[in-house]
Chains A and B, each alone.
Chain A
Amino acid sequence: MATATEQWVLVEMVQALYEAPAYHLILEGILILWIIRLLFSKTYKLQERSDLTVKEKEELIEEWQPEPLVPPVPKDHPALNYNIVSGPPSHKTVVNGKECINFASFNFLGLLDNPRVKAAALASLKKYGVGTCGPRGFYGTFDVHLDLEDRLAKFMKTEEAIIYSYGFATIASAIPAYSKRGDIVFVDRAACFAIQKGLQASRSDIKLFKHNDMADLERLLKEQEIEDQKNPRKARVTRRFIVVEGLYMNTGTICPLPELVKLKYKYKARIFLEESLSFGVLGEHGRGVTEHYGINIDDIDLISANMENALASIGGFCCGRSFVIDHQRLSGQGYCFSASLPPLLAAAAIEALNIMEENPVLKEKCGQIHKALQGISGLKVVGESLSPAFHLQLEESTGSREQDVRLLQEIVDQCMNRSIALTQARYLEKEEKCLPPPSIRVVVTVEQTEEELERAASTIKEVAQAVLL
């Protein structure tokens, strides 16, 4: 029945087609095509596209004037003309042609011209030559490197140590090896530049706390805890780190490690400790700030220090548990992608470590000059009395940094004329996260005799009075 009806309809349609006038069919045809077109064409109008013509592009390229690669440096830029040290930069040194007593190099233990260190380095030089001609992975690992790592680990009483060929690159590579995008790093405002660069490379979230202010740190940690409770899923994968220095390069102050360790366990954040200044100086054996406070070194997740200060060699190291340190052997950029430390420098560091274990005393001297330098009119001493490197800042700033720097430089220059080699602490003013005020950095070493310390203190006092008053 149904089929019959359908057939009938079909027949009727065909019939209608025959009967319809031609113009009608054409019209219908056009309408159908129109519908199809409408169906397939875009219903919206494309944005006014005004592609540049080739000529316009050419003109734009012609027109563009880049800035110069570097801006010109004024001839009197305070950092342009370096002091020239002729001969070894050790205890007595010739700066700009004048012999001075060195109060500027970080040669805390006087190991730079130690004959034993030199002999060890020389023996190594005679065996291995100078360079390593390769990164650690590709035949750049020498037995000396393994020895040094072993010695450092034993000395620091940690499971493992890893050495880098450049002090700056040590902490700057170590931080991004662990802390990644999305992780949170709590860092002291006064942290040194290497730490700042490491943090920048890690692309983690950075929270600055006030220098050595544990209450401020705890406030930030608490804030984070509240944040974490809101989003526990994210919190489960967000690592937290606290990055501090043992003795701060920029301030000469010591970090309150016991409080930090307490906070670490309370808020489950790992501690990275940079000990470039405190290694070889603090603690009974020079193991640094952990030994100074009597803290179990395993409570610190990673300790990094350079071998360029107390050890008077080149390079740096990280130490800690194998679980942590070993990771850097594949992820520490400055370790994997750089040529390894020249063996003679590693040998020098080993010998320096040997000598260090014989425990020279430095602390009393630091205290002595500290005391002697108190009460200079116009200058204030910034830094711990046990720190071998501390700062002299202007008591009252003139208001312009440039002027302050000039005043301090005047003091440095005059001291230099009177055979006391000093230097201002140099910073890249535009790059520093929290720029410290300008200062003269005074470095105390074991080689300086009491007389020399006295003389330095009185010279600085006299010069400062002459310049500042």
Chain B
Amino acid sequence: MRPEPGGCCCRRTVRANGCVANGEVRNGYVRSSAAAAAAAAAGQIHHVTQNGGLYKRPFNEAFEETPMLVAVLTYVGYGVLTLFGYLRDFLRYWRIEKCHHATEREEQKDFVSLYQDFENFYTRNLYMRIRDNWNRPICSVPGARVDIMERQSHDYNWSFKYTGNIIKGVINMGSYNYLGFARNTGSCQEAAAKVLEEYGAGVCSTRQEIGNLDKHEELEELVARFLGVEAAMAYGMGFATNSMNIPALVGKGCLILSDELNHASLVLGARLSGATIRIFKHNNMQSLEKLLKDAIVYGQPRTRRPWKKILILVEGIYSMEGSIVRLPEVIALKKKYKAYLYLDEAHSIGALGPTGRGVVEYFGLDPEDVDVMMGTFTKSFGASGGYIGGKKELIDYLRTHSHSAVYATSLSPPVVEQIITSMKCIMGQDGTSLGGGWAAWWLTPVIPCHNQGKECVQQLAENTRYFRRRLKEMGFIIYGNEDSPVVPLMLYMPAKIGAFGREMLKRNIGVVVVGFPATPIIESRARFCLSAAHTKEILDTALKEIDEVGDLLQLKYSRHRLVPLLDRPFDETTYEETED
């Protein structure tokens, strides 16, 4: 066993290290031993072999280093693309090559150009080549299999024509349908249809004015129960839940500590809040602790006043890395330094934890320790919108001060109903209902689920482990935590992004491929999202094809062969899980 080497891309250099010796957590309180604190304060990074039992379960997360040759070739690839880009821009400029992109109106030619020339260089010359891998229109439920509308381009992806054919039954490895609630039959659909007929599709008002329906109140009560928090509030869009509520929580004179790989919505919310933003390395607790310590000791820059409050922004599962937040350590740190924690469970709610309550349950922690529990209904619940849960005071404040509550139209009633039914399904109807206790739930009519919620969660967990293990065995470089249903498979080279996406579609599998700017420039990847709706047969088909394409495109970069997982008791060494 050896520690995972620091990647050649520096942002991961210290990831594999253990946590800082920040004492141990008992009964939810940090008791830092003076020696450990002193060592940490002196700026030494301590790799301690016991982390005070913060983790109740193994935490296996790996980010294999990019092979040097691959990295070099990738840069060369981008170099060639850029050179050709310049050449073709030159040809277009002199009208030697036909210009496909839309142009400015004649009347407005003398206006300041709407786009900087370089702004669209990447789009024009790199993205355009492989544009057919994105925005593929579908015409069915985004379930385990999906129908894709075939399209063709006769001008190198500048425009698409629909052939009218439908590619039927494509295995869907792209949608965030973690628990398989994207369905057009069954109890959820029926309930939603009923509400749609009764209420209509829209609301035409905001929560604070006259768009607060009884359905919304019901949903919020249920969400609070589901999360195990005092109260919750639901919003019409997941993205806006972050971008419109963070500004209500912090402002000038406050500090936001944000993970470097946080989603755009968190970044936007942080920026709109007017608070100072500092970035810590992805999931790196030393980095976070150092920022926290410095922030409290040195206060605000220039004015030297102490910060009013510090808010840590993290995500449950990072959707591009497949990593799971080191929540026990984050909570220990936040308690030690009296910071507040904002946890975005967009991808983890429903998808993690034995009963789908998200990353808090996954680590066996207390939801009370997370100040702001945020998440979306888009993914696991097959609906749309987002929520925030927490203490009653927090929710009361948001009800009066959230930008969404005041200015944005509230959630559509049929969508609300979809969330209510799917959430009840995950809860297995067993959440003690409205103050009634056992008798009350016994008397409520049981809505038949397509699958018992708990089974869905277990199925997803099984699928995840199986799929990840098999891919690793095949020799692909797979990022992230072994329990994360988001599975990034590294492609690295720009040409392979397009090739992988197309080859997989040829084999009737829809995958998501991502490159720069969504990822660092050399770390292009394909991303699979597992679902409880995937059967073993579907997964095996997919794996077989991935294996084949992997050989064809030479994607099996991994130099670490995996040894069979042993049931080893958890200790620090499980951080470093790859084997030579």
For chain A, the count of residues having a C-beta within 8 Å of the partner chain is 123
Say whether, besides A105-B211, A314-B412, A80 and B399 are in contact (CB < 8 Å): yes
Across-interface contacts of A57 in B (CB, < 8 A)? 41, 293, 297
* B384–A132 touching, CB < 8 Å: yes
Question: In the complex, how many angstroms separate the beta carbon of A434 from the nearest chain B beta carbon?
Answer: 15
Is residue B396 contacting chain A, with contact meaning CB distance below 8 A? yes
Asked if B102 and A69 make an inter-chain contact with CB atoms under 8 angstroms apart, the answer reads no
B37 and A58 within 8 A (CB): yes
Q: A129-B141, A143-B139, A431-B403 are in contact. Are A102 and B175 (CB under 8 A)?
A: no
Residues of A contacting B383 with CB < 8 Å?
130-131, 342
Of A14-22, A28-36, A40-48, A421-429, the one with at least 4 CB within 8 A of chain B: A421-429
Q: Could you tell me if B400 and A140 are in contact, using CB atoms closer than 8 angstroms?
A: no
Q: Contact string, A106-125, partner B, CB cutoff 8 A, digits 1/0?
A: 11000011100110011001
Q: Are B399 and A105 in contact (CB under 8 A)?
A: no
Looking across the interface, which residue of chain A has its beta carbon closest to that of B342?
A69
Stretch at the interface among B80-88, B333-341, B546-554: B333-341
B203 touches A134 (CB 8 A): no
Residue ID in chain A nearest B177 by CB atoms: A133
B379 at interface (Cβ–Cβ under 8 A)? yes
* Complex CA distance for A133 and B146, rounded to whole angstroms: 12
The answer to whether B210 touches A79, judged by C-beta atoms less than 8 angstroms apart, is no
Shortest CB-to-CB span from A307 to chain B, Å, is: 8
Q: How far is the CA of A165 from the CA of B237 in the complex (A)?
A: 7
Contact: B209 with A423, CB < 8 Å? Answer: yes
CA distance A356 to B38 in the complex (A): 71
Contact assessment for A73 and B393 in the assembled complex, using a CB-CB cutoff below 8 Å: yes
Complex contact A83–B38 (CB within 8 A)? no
| Smallest Cβ-Cβ distance to B37: which chain A residue | A58
- The answer to whether A166 and B236 touch across the interface, beta carbons within 8 angstroms, is yes
When C-beta atoms are compared, the residue in chain A nearest to B404 turns out to be A168
Given A60-B296, A428-B401, A125–B210 Cβ distance below 8 Å? no
Tell me the total A-B contact number using a CB cutoff of 8 A: 374
**A207 contacts B by Cβ under 8 Å:** no
B437 at the interface (CB under 8 A from A): no
> In residues 231-265 of chain A, which contact B (Cβ within 8 Å)?
235-240, 265
B287 within 8 A of A: no
Select from chain A the residue with minimum beta-carbon distance to B199.
A88
Considering only residues 402-430 of chain A, those with a C-beta below 8 Å from chain B are 421, 423-428
On whether the beta carbons of B396 and A80 are closer than 8 Å, the reply is yes
A128 to B213, CA, bound (A): 25
A192 to B293, CA, bound (A): 40
Does chain B have a CB within 8 A of A293?
Answer: no
- Whether A8 is near chain B, meaning CB under 8 Å from some CB there, is no
Contact of A339 with B249 at beta-carbon distance under 8 Å, contacts A61-B293, A86-B214 already known? no
Chain A residue at minimum C-beta to C-beta distance from B32: A58
Query: Nearest-CB distance from B123 to chain A (Å)?
Result: 6
Q: Please tell me if the beta carbons of B414 and A121 are within 8 angstroms of each other in the complex.
A: yes
Stretch at the interface among A213-221, A283-291, A327-335, A362-370: A327-335
- Chain B residue at minimum C-beta to C-beta distance from A298: B105
CB of B212 within 8 A of CB of A83, answer yes
B204 touches A312 (CB 8 A): yes
Q: Are A127 and B184 in contact (CB under 8 A)?
A: yes
Pick from B172, B201, B406: contact of A314, CB below 8 A.
Answer: B201
Please indicate the chain B residues that have their CB under 8 angstroms from the CB of A308 in the complex. Answer: 202-204, 409
A126 at the interface (CB under 8 A from B): yes
Given the interface pairs A427-B406, A428-B403, the reply to whether A82 lies near B212 with Cβ below 8 Å is yes
Query: A399 on the interface (CB 8 Å rule)?
Result: no
Count how many chain B residues have C-beta atoms less than 8 Å from C-beta atoms of the other chain.
126
Complex formed: what's the CA distance from A84 to B398 in Å? Answer: 17
* Segment at the A interface, from B48-56, B188-196, B567-575: B188-196
Within 8 Å CB of B237, what residues of A? 165-166, 168-169, 334, 338-339
Given A168-B244, A426-B206; A268-B112 close (CB under 8 Å): yes
Q: Does B127 contact A (CB under 8 A)?
A: yes
Contact A125 B192 (CB under 8 A): yes
Within 8 A of A (CB), among B432-483: none
Q: How far is the CA of A236 from the CA of B110 in the complex (A)?
A: 10
Hey, which chain B residues are within 8 Å of A239, CB to CB?
112-114
| A236 B200 Cβ-Cβ under 8 A | no
Q: Is the CB of B337 within 8 A of A125?
A: no
Q: Is residue A375 contacting chain B, with contact meaning CB distance below 8 A?
A: no
Q: Which residues of the partner chain A approach B265 to less than 8 Å between Cβ atoms?
A: 333, 337-338
* B348 CB → nearest A CB, Å: 15
Cβ of A4 < 8 Å from any Cβ of B?
Answer: no
- Asked whether A448 is an interface residue with its Cβ less than 8 Å from the other chain, the reply is no
Q: Does residue A323 face the partner (Cβ distance < 8 Å to B)? A: yes
Q: Which of A194-202, A390-398, A454-462 is near enough to bind chain B?
A: A194-202
The CA-CA distance from A394 to B352 in the complex, in Å, is: 54
User: How many Å from the CB of B517 to the closest CB on chain A?
Assistant: 9
| Distance (whole angstroms) from the CB of B159 to the closest CB of chain A | 10
Known A-B contacts A139-B138, A308-B202; A423 and B115 likewise in contact (beta carbons under 8 Å): no
B202→A61 contact, CB < 8 A: no
Residue A27 at the chain B interface, CB threshold 8 Å: no
Question: Which one, A134, A159, A312, contacts B200 given CB within 8 A?
Answer: A312
Q: Which one, B42, B182, B209, contacts A131 given CB within 8 A? A: B182
**A245, B308: Cα distance in complex, Å:** 37
**Given the complex of chains A and B, what is the CA–CA distance between A306 and B203 in angstroms?**
13
A130-B192, A270-B108 given; name 11 further pairs at CB < 8 Å. Answer: A64-B296, A65-B338, A104-B210, A126-B184, A129-B141, A130-B414, A314-B412, A323-B102, A327-B120, A337-B263, A338-B239
